[in-house]
Structure 1
């Protein structure tokens, strides 16, 4: 029954032939999920009156729209807008909530439309072209919604616009791949691999250890760990490791921001958000490259197998042709042996009555075979029997049976 709740996410696949009640339940579930994600972002990822540092609600709504039928979009947009508005009103002024909700809905609708238009409903971020399109959407669409938000605010500082943009772009860049990657079969396959589970657990522990110390810069070490997980698990590992890195790093980032308020804090947040975006982009790009290499290797292996099969078939055909040629030569040798030692004169002629072969027994009539080959066989026939033999020849040439006897 859970399949009736989240249309289009990578976690589940909606069943076919849904009725109005199931569709209404899906829309309500989407609205509730967007409400929870929005509330969590506003409650835990902002400080000092600044915009949230991480915004994941739009990524969830975008995936739902991009993978749902087009006729479902109005209901899903209304549900998502209701969830955004309800959560925002609880923690921000009404006018600001309205502006933010409209901007978020515009971002979600534009991003989903672009993703559907350019990639279709099957969004596979392990393919380089799809990943490039997705990265462009994650970069451009939040800028459009941020400008819309800035245009309706008076005043709206540039720093706040920067935080808005980074939070929304990072949310789409990090949460969308996870929602697309964690399908039921992928989760089952992941849980069935103890080494992968242990690797992710160790990766999470290493994240906390690196971020909770100040002896060495953590970003390079974290990137190395993300690459390690990506090489092991390809695009799924890239999505999960980037997600874990962003969530854990955001928690440490906000704890430090609350302890040090000031203008430099905004700059620090922007820098750390940019670092997380770069880490995520590198992980997704490496994952796509590895998946592309694996597909090329599989295609090359299949092509090699096909070539080997064709080569084997060619060798078999050549052997059969050689055997047939040997059988033909043996048959011709037996025929020639019979003809050369027969007392009857055996001849072979073409359709133009030209002698092609005359057996050596023609010597009994005073001829040599070489003298007769090339001439007309009718020259050897008694004139009274020439017409009958011509009729016999024509019948044989046409594939009809013909019999006869001749005295001369």
Structure 2
């Protein structure tokens, strides 16, 4: 057999508190009611019990309803009501509470959520009207049966008293249950609330202790309580006003009793109208203040989220005026740029790299003109002096004064990305250079040589500029490699390339085709004299020994020069220069020979030896 679920002790304490509050309020209302039956101006207990139920789980409701029912029966018995009458009236009150609580719970499950209060208020009022009609009919029938009173008068008195009590105290109890713990958490707040309610007590007593029409004087303290403390202030203030008014009216005191012709029922009805007027004045104020508090809480939450995003964002967030004056800078500026937000405020154009200031101004103008965001990359000076690359997304936002537009941009440090892109670009340039440069000597390679020869012959066709091609190789280079090794041979080639580069002009191209084969492209109107001058100068230069690892090596070169003054094919020029080199080797090496590809005077004869 499953064990019974234990009920926490606090639940029974809660039920006891409810029974005590309902019983005391019922007894007080009965004691200060006059005339046949109970003509209380306001019935407090049902509204408090309904608000209590709305703050508890539905399965616990029967226990609370039973506690309230028993407490009211006991209060009525103590007041001298017959047992059947006490039970029947208490049952009518219990039915009223149950109807309102069930309807509101079904329509608004989370009644404690402030954003549901406006809708919940409308549903609760409608449910209260229906429930008070039902309970009023039951109670009036019971009174007519037991006390022989007027059914209509009893119904109106009951309905008025219960509607006012339900609307005020059900709502106030729900709010007090949700926020009451924090409402008086500070000592100053508790003292302020007690003083405000004491003011209501004093003014209410004064108003109902004189026979002058000064009922309106009680309203300002009630409004103060509603303004300062919202629904708890309304609930306690109306409770005080109702109790004081009921006691005074029951004793025949106060401004309400000035009209003797109304009788007891009329006085009670007038008191109810007076209390209803107090409700109409204070409840909207309490609702407005509660809504204001909720909106302020949402605003604070939104500001906290915004502040958290800006304060802990790694990006720099800046708000600027159209003139470029910084109005706000997020704390991340210290991490990225070394500057504190205060140091960056104002017109600090000096922080932007001089080459990028025009770009930033142009971006701001485009954003303000188009209303569309823009992305710009520029440099900002770090506090230690170097510049940081910033990628900023700039967009317009409404100005703080409501007139015109400001600019907000979010910038991130992309210095590493820029450095990587620059390194990649440098690598591409280096690869492109290596693809056109001989790795050993640093001279142009065959690829660059082919491009240069083609361009030179194209210029020859367009402008008639003569072109000469010099073929060179190192005499007996294989013997140097075999004797001294390839390392020495490489150093000989490098030294030869250096001397050859010194002998040519800036406009000439020196290239290594491979091995010990070199070539020079010469474009000059003075050909072939210019090519001959280069050849003689190189031969003279090679008379000096090449020092390699402490050994002086005598190195010579053979040179073949092919030239043309008219348009020819590349192959023809290469073949002519190669034939001239062969002729130089046949002549004993360490010399040069020159041939013309086409020459009107000499045909294919040697142009010079």
TM-score scaled by length of structure 2: 0.48
User: Does structure 1 conserve the Cα–Cα contact (< 8 Å) formed by 2:96 and 2:135?
Assistant: yes
User: Does structure 1 conserve the Cα–Cα contact (< 8 Å) formed by 2:54 and 2:105?
Assistant: yes
Residue in structure 1 matched with residue 138 of structure 2 by the alignment = 148
Residue in structure 2 matched with residue 270 of structure 1 by the alignment = 269
1:216 is displaced (CA, Å) by 4.8
Secondary structure of 2:81 counterpart: coil
User: Does structure 2 conserve the Cα–Cα contact (< 8 Å) formed by 1:345 and 1:362?
Assistant: no
Secondary structure of 2:39 counterpart: coil
User: Does structure 1 conserve the Cα–Cα contact (< 8 Å) formed by 2:210 and 2:253?
Assistant: no
**Over the residues paired in the alignment, what is the CA RMSD in angstroms?**
4.0
Residue in structure 2 matched with residue 110 of structure 1 by the alignment = 99
Residue in structure 1 matched with residue 334 of structure 2 by the alignment = none
User: Does structure 1 conserve the Cα–Cα contact (< 8 Å) formed by 2:41 and 2:271?
Assistant: no
Q: 5+ residue gaps in structure 1?
A: 1-16, 347-358, 369-406
Q: Deviations over 1:263-292 (max 9, x none)?
A: 444223212212212322432222122221
Residue in structure 2 matched with residue 376 of structure 1 by the alignment = none
* Greater C-alpha Rg: 2
Which is richer in helix?
Answer: 1
Distance 1:86 1:42, change over 3 A: same
**C-alpha distance in structure 2 between counterparts of 1:20 and 1:303, whole Å:** 39
**C-alpha distance in structure 2 between counterparts of 1:56 and 1:175, whole Å:** 7
Residue in structure 1 matched with residue 298 of structure 2 by the alignment = 299
Q: Does 2:232 match 1:236? A: yes
User: Does structure 2 conserve the Cα–Cα contact (< 8 Å) formed by 1:191 and 1:197?
Assistant: no
**C-alpha distance in structure 2 between counterparts of 1:246 and 1:361, whole Å:** 110
**C-alpha distance in structure 2 between counterparts of 1:40 and 1:197, whole Å:** 22
Distance 1:280 1:100, change over 3 A: same
Highest RCO, 1 vs 2 (Cα 8 Å, sep ≥ 6)? 1
1:116 is displaced (CA, Å) by 2.5
Which is richer in strand?
Answer: 2
Secondary structure of 1:129 counterpart: helix
Distance 1:56 1:242, change over 3 A: closer
Residue in structure 2 matched with residue 393 of structure 1 by the alignment = none
Q: Does 2:44 match 1:45? A: no
Q: Does 2:317 match 1:327? A: no
Secondary structure of 1:113 counterpart: helix
Residue in structure 1 matched with residue 162 of structure 2 by the alignment = 168
1:321 is displaced (CA, Å) by 6.2
**C-alpha distance in structure 1 between counterparts of 2:65 and 2:165, whole Å:** 18
Distance 1:337 1:298, change over 3 A: same
**C-alpha distance in structure 1 between counterparts of 2:170 and 2:96, whole Å:** 14
Residue in structure 2 matched with residue 392 of structure 1 by the alignment = none
Equivalent residues in 2 for 1:7-406 (5 A)?
19=7, 27=15, 30-47=18-35, 49-90=37-78, 91-120=80-109, 122-123=111-112, 127-152=117-142, 153-154=144-145, 156-180=150-174, 181=176, 183-189=180-186, 192-219=189-216, 221-256=217-252, 263-304=262-303, 306-307=305-306, 313=315, 315=317, 318=392, 319-320=411-412, 323=415, 326-327=418-419, 330-331=422-423, 334-335=426-427, 338=430, 342=433, 344-345=435-436, 363-364=451-452, 366=454
Distance 1:325 1:118, change over 3 A: same
1:29 is displaced (CA, Å) by 5.4
Residue in structure 1 matched with residue 333 of structure 2 by the alignment = none
Q: 5+ residue gaps in structure 2?
A: 318-389, 393-410, 438-446, 457-513, 516-609
User: Does structure 1 conserve the Cα–Cα contact (< 8 Å) formed by 2:211 and 2:253?
Assistant: no
User: Does structure 1 conserve the Cα–Cα contact (< 8 Å) formed by 2:40 and 2:268?
Assistant: no
Residue in structure 1 matched with residue 356 of structure 2 by the alignment = none
Q: Deviations over 1:29-63 (max 9, x none)?
A: 54454333322221223345553333223234333
Q: Deviations over 1:335-365 (max 9, x none)?
A: 466467x46428xxxxxxxxxxxx9776445
1:107 is displaced (CA, Å) by 1.0
Q: Deviations over 1:210-244 (max 9, x none)?
A: 3334555323x333332222222233323332322
1:145 is displaced (CA, Å) by 0.5
Distance 1:363 1:304, change over 3 A: farther
Which stretch of the first structure deviates more once superposed, 310-319 or 157-166? 310-319
Q: Deviations over 1:293-335 (max 9, x none)?
A: 2222332343355456667647586333654564356436644
Secondary structure of 2:412 counterpart: helix
Q: Deviations over 1:122-154 (max 9, x none)?
A: 546783223333333333321220022234535
**C-alpha distance in structure 2 between counterparts of 1:305 and 1:22, whole Å:** 37
